[in-house]
Structure 1
Amino acid sequence: MEPQPEHTEPVDDADTDPWHRTAERQQARQPRVYVTDLASTERGIDHGLWVDANQSADDIAADIDAMLASSPVPGAKLWVVRATEDFDDIDLSTVSTSAAIAELAQGLVRHGRAFTAWVRHIDHDYTRLADFPSEYVGSYQSPEAWAWSLAESLGWHQELDRRITDTLIRPYVTLDYAAIAQDASASWHVLRDPDGTVHVFTR
């Protein structure tokens, strides 16, 4: 079974959706990185700067250049991310460009835990970050909530109404959303958060 849902992020719609499809509600993120000067580190000196990551790559690069220019080691040019804040524990230790830092931070600010799930899914292959918008289907409170949305987009609820016209029986007839989610997961990447939220991506 390979049903094709609409390729959009779901929004809260409690009046029509008993599963309450949901886009993530979250506090505003303020991702930062602590960037240090490698030349100083090699000499046992902690010389670094906390940099606002949610800004342009050029602005991040300017902050890093200013940190390097103030290094106690003349001519310092190399830097590394030593610590992060508000990055959902995403490992930035191998990131070596301001562009990657900016893209990660902006993705987290815009998309929250769905973007975090994507980064982990692609195994921190930062060359694939730009694929997120085209592959992201949506975030849902549970696999069953996703299955409800999928069935709705395919017209299965309307089909039940058409086939079962007895008004006494119809309220008790429903779809097996757990089974739908299990079968449909063969056609999508379904990534689960510890709280049960699932983030769905195309394969």
Structure 2
Amino acid sequence: MEHNITPKTDTNDPSDVAETERVARTAPLIYVASLSDYNNGELHGQWIDARLGIDEINEKIAVMLANSQDPGAEEYAIHDYEGFYQFQVGEYDRIETVHAIAEGIQEHGEAYAAYVELVGTEDASLDTFDDCYRGTYATLTAFVDQFVDDMGWPEEIEKFGERTGLGPYLSIDYSDLESSMRMEWDVIEGEEGVHIFTR
């Protein structure tokens, strides 16, 4: 649930403000808000870098709740986020889940966010990502060109053509190959290019 809140904190800890200001806008951030304050028409929460350790994130949430004007503030929700690319952080997603995704984004950028959106949070991990990620390219055509070159098909076709005299009649149908890859592999378009995953 996005409320498009401008990243800032209304807690009384100045170090948290400075920390948030130092974080790049593309860093995976979550805005964690006190639910009792929200239900009473008050906005009380804090932007937190989701790449921090889980214990540190939970500690910051506890401090935020302790600083609430409502002495009974105990529950929280994620009311905004940024830096997760196309992945949509849920209001009640577990901190462990959000942290794991933030770590993946820290290491692999938008490609990891695209992967989590593709397979779901339960099946996503850095290990499974590494198993099926084939790279990010400007276009699918660029990937097909690289794939064909890596496979050595142009050289093989040339050799076969020389042996058989069929060279003028042999070629690679790049358009058909591109269509086949779209059917057999997962091709996800993003801000940074086209992310390729095997199934």
Query: Structure 1-normalised TM-score?
Result: 0.72
Secondary structure of the 1:83 match is: strand
In the other structure, the counterpart of 1:35 is 32
Secondary structure of the 2:122 match is: helix
Secondary structure of the 1:127 match is: coil
Aligned pair count reads 171
Amino acid at match of 2:184: S
Amino acid at match of 1:128: D
Cα–Cα, structure 1 residues 95 and 177, in superposed 2: closer, same or farther, change >3 Å?
farther
Question: Which blocks of at least 5 consecutive residues in structure 1 are unaligned?
Answer: 1-26
Q: 2:155 aligns with which of 158, 176, 192?
A: 158
Greater relative CO (CA pairs within 8 A, separation 6+)? 1
Secondary structure of the 2:71 match is: coil
Question: Which blocks of at least 5 consecutive residues in structure 2 are unaligned?
Answer: 1-23
In the other structure, the counterpart of 2:18 is none
Q: CA deviation at 1:165?
A: 4.5
CA contact 1:95–1:101 (8 Å) conserved in 2: no
Amino acid at match of 1:141: A
The structure that is helix-richer by fraction is 2
Q: CA deviation at 1:119?
A: 2.8
In the other structure, the counterpart of 2:130 is 133
- Is 1:202 aligned with 2:189? no
In the other structure, the counterpart of 1:14 is none
1:1-203 correspondence to structure 2 within 5 Å: 29-122=26-119, 125-130=120-125, 131-165=128-162, 175-193=172-190, 197-203=193-199
Q: CA deviation at 1:104?
A: 1.7
Once superposed, what is the RMSD of the aligned Cα atoms? Answer: 2.8
CA contact 1:58–1:98 (8 Å) conserved in 2: no
Cα–Cα, structure 1 residues 95 and 175, in superposed 2: closer, same or farther, change >3 Å?
farther
Q: CA deviation at 1:47?
A: 1.0
Q: CA deviation at 1:174?
A: 5.5
CA contact 1:147–1:181 (8 Å) conserved in 2: yes
Secondary structure of the 1:185 match is: helix
Counting aligned pairs with the same residue, the percent is 27
CA contact 2:86–2:114 (8 Å) conserved in 1: no
Amino acid at match of 1:47: H
Cα–Cα, structure 1 residues 128 and 95, in superposed 2: closer, same or farther, change >3 Å?
farther
User: Equivalents in 2 of 1:112, 1:98: separation in Å?
Assistant: 19
CA contact 2:87–2:114 (8 Å) conserved in 1: no
